[in-house]
Amino acid sequence: MGGFSIWHILIFAIILLLLFGGNRFSAMMGDVAKGLKSFKQGMSEEEEDKRKAYDEQRRADPPRQLARDEPPPADPIDVTPRSAEPSAPPPRDDEAR
Question: What local confidence, expressed as pLDDT, does residue 34 receive?
Answer: 93
Is 80 exceeded by the pLDDT of residue 54?
yes
What is the domain partition of the chain in residue ranges?
A: 27-61
Is residue 80 very low, low, confident or very high in pLDDT (cuts 50, 70, 90)? confident
Q: SS3 sequence, the chain?
A: CCCCCHHHHHHHHHHHHHHHHHHHHHHHHHHHHHHHHHHHHHHHHHHHHHHHHHHHHHHHCCCCCCCCCCCCCCCCCCCCCCCCCCCCCCCCHHHHC
